[in-house]
Structures are given as C-alpha cells and as structure tokens.
Structure 1
Amino acid sequence: MSCGAAELRITFSPGRVQLVQEEEVVPGGPRVLVTGATGLLGRAVCAEFLSIGWSVIGTGYRRARPRLLRCDLTDEDAVRGLLHEYQPDVIVHCAAERRPDVVERYTEAAVNLNVHATSMLAKEAAVCGALLIYISTDYVFDGRNPPYGEDDSPNPLNVYGRSKLEGERETLRHCPGAVVLRVPVLFGEVESVMESAVTSLWVKVEASESCTLDHCQQRFPTDARDVATVCRKLAERARQDPSIKGIFHFSGKEQMTKYEMAVAIAQAFNLPSNHLIPLTEQPVAAAPRPVNAQLNCSRLELQNLGVEPRPFTVAITDCLWPFTPDKRWRQTVFH
C-alpha cells in the first residue's frame, strides 16, 4: 500500500515496527492507517481508501508483505511510535483473532490482541487526535431475540464474542469519539478459499462425496467490499461531523444457513448440490454460536451512511471464479 508521507521511515528496534520493503512514497490526501491489512477486510479497506485518493498504510504481523508495515500491535511502544511517526487522520482497526474455536483454545493470545491491543490503540488514537473505527461482530449477542439494534444489551455466548465486546468498551472508554462497527460473517476476494467461513464452503461444493452442512444457525453473509465502503463513508462524515460516533451496525440482508449458502454457490456455478446434506441440529464445536444474531442497521441508514449490499449470488461468484477450473469457468460464463 502506498504510504502517505515521503518522510515516513520507521526505524524502531527489530520485531517492533519495520517496513517490510521501503519504496518511494508520495504525499496524498488524508492519512488512514489500517491494522490487519493482510486480512480479508483489511485488504478491502485499504483498496477502498486508495480508490478515493487517501494516503493509506497497512500493518500486518506474521503475514506482513511488501509495502506493508510489520507491527506487533500488542507492543505498546511500537504502537505509540507508529502513530507518532505516521500521524494518521483515521485508524481502521481490523486486526483481530476472529475464529471462535481458535479463541477458545488460545484465549490468552486472543484476548491480548482483541482487548489489550485495542485498548492501547484507543488510548494512542485519542492522544494523536485520530478517528478510530473499530470493527466488531454480531457475536456480541446471544441470538435469542433478533434483530438487534445498537442499544440492545449484548450477551455473548463465547470467548470470542466477549473479547470483542470488551474491545468495544475499551475503545469507547479511552476514545469517546470513536466509531464501533459491528458486522456479521464476512466473505470477499480471498487469497485462499479457506480465508473465510463462506468461501471455504467451495471445498464441499466441489467434493464428490456426500457431506453435511449446518442448516440451523442463521447467518447474514456480507461482502467485505461493502463493509469497506461503509468504513470510508463513516470516516469521511465523522471527520466533518463529531456526532458520528459510537456503535453502528452493517450487514448483508440475505438470511442463509451454511447449507443454503453452499447450495447457492453450487447453483451459481451450475454444479450439482445433491451431495450436500442439511444438518438441522446444532453442530458440536469448541465455541457455542448464536442461532440468529441478525443486526438492525437502521442507525447507519438514517444517517445516510448505509450501502446496498451486493446480492449474495453475484458477490460470491465474483469471489470464487478464480478458483474454478478454466473449462468449468468458461462453461459457467458462456453457456
């Protein structure tokens, strides 16, 4: 990602903050810092802000790559130094451990990133005067009484949901002008189909043997590119209007189980789906999930900050076609 200030040269001690690859950078518009820029949503957010001429810098850690900063967000000195050096106008905090079963197994590391790193980032954002947009989740709700508005009481069922809820509270406690954006399960342009719980269904759609898929938990799959557009609209408006703060919801509108998503994917690519078997009992997993945590997105819409979500079939086809065999893709398109 292009950096937004030619003088930016991060020189902290190794392992804290470093440019993976230095290259000539040019001044641009307002500066946005995107954490978790190697991830599904982070990449989409970077692309969205670049498309409108903002200066963008992204951070990563284990998956950092050229033109990104490698930064350990759990290192307070590194975070403070990064913000002091780059002086962003906006921070979009996408970095998180968002796999519920992983959070159950590696709770300390996940809480370190989801809560403690978020708390530090919020403190430093407040000091440097940057607008902080914190990405949260529909899993802060228990799924027993949907749809959920921003003012409804959270009651997370798993450690992941609790860690993100605590991240919300830390964000708003240390940085009262921040924005919290809750979103459901995301998909988008992936580097591997396993990068998203939605695109990973492709493996079962392509399989020849029978396989079961959850047909109990109601999900609202949402394109990361739509979320990125909402982040951009929030950032533009909030920089002009200080009343734009607090909690917002954004979600796709189509209610689907994993089984229904897989069938829709199969139909989109003209593939058989009779080997997909709906499982109508809650699957056994390390982390319990809410049955239906549908988000009410009216606050975003009332502020004219909403986005009409891409239809699932159109969006998922756009994301998965690179993973189709060439012959099959031509048949899908032209026949």
Structure 2
Amino acid sequence: MKKLLITGASGFLGWHICQLAKTEWEVYSTYFSHSLEIPGVKTVKVNLTDFQELKDIFNDINPTAVIHTAANSQPNFCQNHPEESYTINVTASCNLAGLCADYAIPCAFTSTDLVFNGLNAPYKETDSVSPVSLYGEQKVKAELGMLERYPHTAVCRMPLMFGIGTPTAKSFIQPFIETLKAGKELNLFIDEFRTPASGTTAAKGLLLALEKVQGVIHLGGKERISRYDFGKLLVEVFQITDGKIKGCYQQDVKMAAPRPADVSLDSSKAFALGYQPLSLKEELAALVNRPLV
C-alpha cells in the first residue's frame, strides 16, 4: 500500500483524516505533546520544528504523500507567543514542503479562512489575503513559503470545523453542548460568520485535494452562518430542551487576537472537483447518536 504521512494526529482534524485514510493507505501519523494510539495507524512522536527529526522521519518512512495539519491553531495563543507559534506554523511547514519537493510526492497543507480580514466575503481562492491576527499572518507566510519551495503543494484553506471529540482534541461544539445541557446561558456572536464543515467532511476534502489540487483551494461548508444561528441549530438538532442562547457582539468580548467578522469561503472550485459537504443540519444529525466526547 501507498504510505501517507499525516502530521498532527493528536489534533481534531489530523485524527479525522487518519480514520478515513487508513482504509486506502498505510498511514503514519505524528504527534508531539499528546501521545495517542489510533487502531490501524502507526503513530510516531516527532518534534517537527527540529529539522533533523523531520528529515529522519522522511528517511525512515519514505512516504508517498503527506498531509500537514500540525499547527498551533489557537489565534489568541499565537498572538501572545509569536516566536513559539512561528516555528511550527511557518518554519516547520516550509521545511516540510522542501522535503516533499525532494521526494517529489503530493503534499496537502491545512491553512485557514482567517487569512482574510472579513470585509469582503464570500472569499474565492483568487481574492487577496489580508489577515487581522498574527495566526492569520503566519498561515499566509506558510502558504507563500510552501508554494515557493514546492509549487505542487495543495494549500487547503479550512473553515471552522466541528464533530465528535477525539482522544486528545475536542471541537467547539463539545463545550457548547455541555453549557446548554447544564441549563447555563450560552453567549454567541451574532456578527461573526463562517462556512463550517464537519471534521469528516473536511478530511474527505483534504484527501481529494491531495489527489487533485496544486495551489490554493477552499474547503468550506455549503452554508454561511453566524455562531448564534449555529448554536440555535445545535439546540434544535440535539433537542436540548432547556438550551438558552443569547446573542452578543464581537466587541463585547475582549481577546488577544483580533477577529474578522465574516470569513465565509466560496468553495465552488472544490465542489466542482467532487467535494460534497452535507447541509449543516445533516452534518449535525449524523453526530446525534455518536459519543461526542
């Protein structure tokens, strides 16, 4: 079988890709600080910011393709720890692209919708990037650096993602549901819009991009929605009878990293290639009877 190296297996998205990919590939996955076992997948502890370790893992595995999801993806953390986050988000990503170029193998990279400033949504792949946070800036630098090192890289801009929790990571819906089921009030932005997709759908999109894309592709969901309306949909689908949701504005919540208002993605290019997100209601309904933790 072909060998697929997935970085960031302990992250939400990396774990979901491992679940899907292991039926078609011999999957090797890396983690750094959160060890885990994934049945049918070989997990390896690697410090991706150490170039020698990165080279060694390529030499040991000799992968036939790479999906790079490992990142420091918390905007507030990146804003407060610029140097630490830069080494994994930018330096390691560019080094990895260079190795994929050396091996002449397909490479898919997970970027973000936060490369945009939120003023001109929905965004196509050809629209100018204009990040408002340090995390968004780092992802732009990684995109440019990786494509410079290896133009065959599939740069996949990912949306807000949700789904079942993994052994080492949750999505944003777990704390939402906990708060609502406890009868507490959940404050959600009415003025922040995204195009969410489930972890499974996003993983399918990445495997498709690995096979079919070179350059930038958007892998958003099919619906633009505010956090507030997403919360209302969650209450409806999960039938949380006592769920209390209150709308608030971005300016009401002080955070280290600035937040764009609307980074909805136009993913029609990916849809034309066969990327098929379900409706948000269908995506959530598929999670209802699954353990979410």
TM-score, length of structure 2 as denominator length: 0.91
1:287 — aligned with what?
Answer: 257
* Alpha-carbon distance between aligned partners in 1 of 2:248 and 2:29, rounded to the nearest angstrom: 40
* Alpha-carbon distance between aligned partners in 1 of 2:164 and 2:183, rounded to the nearest angstrom: 25
Residues 138-287 of structure 1: matches in 2 within 5 Å? 138-191=113-166, 195-237=170-212, 244-272=213-241, 275-282=244-251, 283-287=253-257
1:133 — aligned with what?
Answer: 108
1:301 shift after superposition: 3.0
1:193–1:202 contact (8 Å) kept in structure 2: no
The alignment status of 1:92 with 2:64, answered yes or no, reads no
Aligned pair in 2 of structure 1 residues 300, 191: CA closer, same or farther (>3 Å)?
Answer: closer
1:198–1:258 contact (8 Å) kept in structure 2: no
SS in 2 for 1:98: coil
The CA RMSD measured in Å over matched residues stands at 2.1
1:30 — aligned with what?
Answer: 2
* Alpha-carbon distance between aligned partners in 1 of 2:135 and 2:223, rounded to the nearest angstrom: 24
The alignment status of 1:319 with 2:291, answered yes or no, reads no
- Cα deviation digits, residues 105-145 of structure 1 (max 9, x gap): 22211111000110111111111112110100000000101
Aligned pair in 2 of structure 1 residues 287, 281: CA closer, same or farther (>3 Å)?
Answer: closer
Aligned pair in 2 of structure 1 residues 193, 79: CA closer, same or farther (>3 Å)?
Answer: closer
2:31 — aligned with what?
Answer: 60
1:64–1:70 contact (8 Å) kept in structure 2: yes
The number of residue pairs the alignment matches comes to 288
2:15–2:166 contact (8 Å) kept in structure 1: no
1:268–1:317 contact (8 Å) kept in structure 2: yes
2:181–2:242 contact (8 Å) kept in structure 1: no
TM-score, length of structure 1 as denominator length: 0.80
1:80–1:124 contact (8 Å) kept in structure 2: yes
Identity of aligned pairs, percent? 26
Structure having greater relative contact order (Cα 8 Å, sep ≥ 6):
2
Which sections of structure 2, spanning at least 5 residues, go unmatched?
Answer: none
1:103 to 54, 73, 78: 78
- Cα deviation digits, residues 132-165 of structure 1 (max 9, x gap): 1010000000010111111111000000100111
Of the structure 1 ranges 177-186 and 198-207, higher mean CA displacement relative to structure 2 is found in 198-207
* Alpha-carbon distance between aligned partners in 2 of 1:281 and 1:164, rounded to the nearest angstrom: 22
- Cα deviation digits, residues 227-254 of structure 1 (max 9, x gap): 11122222333xxxxxx31000111122
* Alpha-carbon distance between aligned partners in 1 of 2:111 and 2:170, rounded to the nearest angstrom: 18
Q: Which amino acid aligns with 1:56?
A: V
Which sections of structure 1, spanning at least 5 residues, go unmatched?
Answer: 1-28, 238-243, 326-335
1:206 shift after superposition: 1.5
Aligned pair in 2 of structure 1 residues 318, 192: CA closer, same or farther (>3 Å)?
Answer: farther
1:140–1:156 contact (8 Å) kept in structure 2: yes
1:187–1:196 contact (8 Å) kept in structure 2: yes
* Alpha-carbon distance between aligned partners in 1 of 2:250 and 2:200, rounded to the nearest angstrom: 32
2:17 — aligned with what?
Answer: 45
Q: Which amino acid aligns with 1:223?
A: S
1:98 shift after superposition: 0.9
1:197 shift after superposition: 2.3
Of the structure 1 ranges 264-273 and 191-200, higher mean CA displacement relative to structure 2 is found in 191-200
* Alpha-carbon distance between aligned partners in 1 of 2:168 and 2:46, rounded to the nearest angstrom: 26
Aligned pair in 2 of structure 1 residues 174, 39: CA closer, same or farther (>3 Å)?
Answer: same
Q: Which amino acid aligns with 1:258?
A: R
Aligned pair in 2 of structure 1 residues 189, 124: CA closer, same or farther (>3 Å)?
Answer: same
1:79 — aligned with what?
Answer: 54
1:84 shift after superposition: 1.4
Aligned pair in 2 of structure 1 residues 246, 160: CA closer, same or farther (>3 Å)?
Answer: same
2:270 — aligned with what?
Answer: 300
* Alpha-carbon distance between aligned partners in 2 of 1:199 and 1:136, rounded to the nearest angstrom: 23
